[in-house]
Structures are given as structure tokens and as C-alpha cells.
Amino acid sequence: MPHKYAAILWLALCAGLQAAHAAPADAAVLETLERFFDALEMREASTVRDLLLANGEIIASRETADGPQLVRTTHADYVASLAKGSSQLLERIWDPVVQVRGTVASVWAPYDFYVDGEFHHCGVNSFNLVKTDGNWKIAAVVYSVASTDCPPSPLGTPTFSQSPR
């Protein structure tokens, strides 16, 4: 019997060490996304561009009466539209599920999105990132869009300041 408990303790210790080892990579990936969302809110197109992998793609999926509607946008077009726009944007994620293996990472998280201080839509984000030249870059984003039946965010209602522009 004592060997059984020793084996369980050993497995728990190994699992804890593995989780501790993975935490810095997870934190670096989430920090990249935090910088992305901060730059989006401030409409800093050049910062957003620097966080995106060139030639990447963003795909939005919205359920319609005719079935799923997919909208594809290149990273370059996304950055250009961000630079031209003037609306105040706020996107928040919570409960992210992060997976990292070497130079590849994915993050899946529910989100809500506000335009000019008003709720606009919610959904789920799926980010794919790659590590290049020591930095995490967003290679692709796929997200769902829903304007109704959005669960309340555990982050509460956001507060808005004056437009950053």
C-alpha cells in the first residue's frame, strides 16, 4: 500500500512540474493577445500589424437563416480598416484555453465586443499563433459572431472613456 501512495504522489509532483514549466509559454501567448486587444482599443494599427503574421487571415462565422455565413479578411485589409476607422472598439476575452507546443500555440476563449460604448456582439475566438524571431505572432483568427443569446460576461459591464482618437 505505501508504494501505491508514493506512486500517486510522484505522478502528482510530475504533473505539477509540467504545469509550472508550461505556464511561462502560456503567459507569453496571452500577453501577445492582451497587447493585441489594447492596440485594437486604442486603434494603433501599426501595433496590431506588428502582432499579426504577414499573409494571415481572419475568418468570422455568423449563423444566418440561410446557414453559416463566412467572412474572410486578410491581415493587411484588417489593419487598413482599423487605421481608417474612428469608432471606439473594445473586445474582451475570458476563461482562455491555451495550448502551446514549441513554436505553435492556440487560444480558445469566449468574448464580447463593443462599438462606441454599446454592446455589438459576442462569440468565441480561436487564435492560432506562431513564434518567430523569439516573438509570438497571430497567424490566424477564426471567430463566431452572435448578436443575441449572449451569456453575461463574468467581467461585468465595461466602463468607457473618451474615444482614444
φ/ψ of residue 9, rounded to 5: -60, -45
Asked whether residue 163 carries a pLDDT value surpassing 50, the answer given is: no
Q: What letter does residue 2 receive in the DSSP assignment?
A: H
Domains of the chain, start order: 24-145 (3.10.450.50)
- DSSP lists the bridge partners of residue 99 as 106
Q: What is the pLDDT of residue 2?
A: 52
Q: What is the pLDDT of residue 23?
A: 77
- Three-state DSSP class for residue 85: coil
Tell me the whole-structure pTM to 2 decimals.
0.82
Grid cell of 6 as nine digits = 508514493
Mean pLDDT of 77-84: 97
Percent of the chain having pLDDT more than 70? 84
Compute the distance between CA of residue 158 and CA of residue 40 in angstroms, rounded to an integer: 15
Instruction: For residue 42, give the H/E element and its range.
Output: helix 2-42
Rg of the Cα trace of the chain?
A: 19
**What is the tens place of the pLDDT at every residue in 22-37?**
478 899 999 999 999 9
**What is the tens place of the pLDDT at every residue in 104-156?**
999 999 999 999 999 999 999 999 999 999 999 999 999 999 999 999 999 99
Q: What is the pLDDT of residue 150?
A: 94
Q: Which segments of 56-112 does DSSP mark as H helices, in order?
A: 75-84
